[in-house]
Amino acid sequence: MNLNGRKVVVTGGSGGIGSALIIGLSDAGAQVYNLDRNPPVSELPAQFIEVDLTNEQSVSAAMGKISDLDAIVVSAGIQLVGEDARIEDVSLETWQRTIDINLTGAFLSLKYALPKLVASGSGSAVLIGSPTAISMEGAGYSSYAASKAGMMALSRVIAADYKDKGVRSNVVVPGAMKTPLIQKIWDDHAKRDALVAGTPLGRIGNPEELVGLVNWLVSTDSSFATGASYAVDGGMTAR
């Protein structure tokens, strides 16, 4: 995939899926900006811009530092394992924190990226969804599943609202990925084994396995793809 000349923002790029996507995008020739609250723990081929994705002024200021933009990959997110639960057991604090980062953060990132994507003439938004939003995998994660379902709906709305502006919007749905986001699950052998058992390919995914699809959606080669969701989940949502 040749992404030479494409300028791409990755939110939450300092770790996990975001870092893998930054490396993949850069290797394909893209100029990448990493918008995150914290700098990466190791060097990444991206310009780091500090931002609080839950604060509108912070997001506006961060996006204002980028003159031109062809694509945004919304990968910032949290999953509060051990706090999120069935709805009657979820605290308002856990709900609000999850929604603030996962859904409001996506909204603000896209709000300030979209004028730049329109100006590019071939803009692309890629949102990282979750099987919890579309299947029974969401059991026990009320806040997280709701936030990801909202993100995925937002992508469809953008695809509809900006179809005449040259902007496309799509969702990539990873399955269980070995990332720090859900380290508590990996540390719990019973939960980890259940995730593996629920994945037809019989293993956990690696963030690098998302790179090819994300690069394609960022590129102009995917010019007829919009409003869609693409599962890279080892068959989890196909059961």
- Please report the pLDDT score of residue 128 as a whole number: 98
- 117-138 burial by CB neighbour count: b if 16+ within 10 A, else e? beebeebbbbbbbbbbbbbebb
Reported residue count of the chain is: 239
Write the DSSP symbol of residue 91.
-
The order of strands in the sheet holding 7-11 is: 47-50, 31-36, 7-11, 71-74, 123-128, 167-174, 229-232
The whole-angstrom separation of Cα 34 and Cα 25 is 12
- Please report the pLDDT score of residue 96 as a whole number: 98
- Please report the pLDDT score of residue 182 as a whole number: 65
pTM reported for the whole predicted model: 0.94
The whole-angstrom separation of Cα 129 and Cα 114 is 19
Residue 134, CA distances (Å) to 82, 144, 149, 226 in order: 21, 12, 7, 18
- Please report the pLDDT score of residue 181 as a whole number: 63
- Please report the pLDDT score of residue 174 as a whole number: 95
Catalytically annotated residues:
144
Single-letter code of the amino acid located at 222:
S
Point out which residues pair with 212 in neighbouring strands: none
For the chain, how long is the longest CA-to-CA vector? 49
Q: List average pLDDT for each run of 10 residues in the chain, which is 239 residues long.
A: 96 95 98 97 96 98 98 96 94 98 98 98 97 91 97 98 98 87 71 82 92 98 98 90
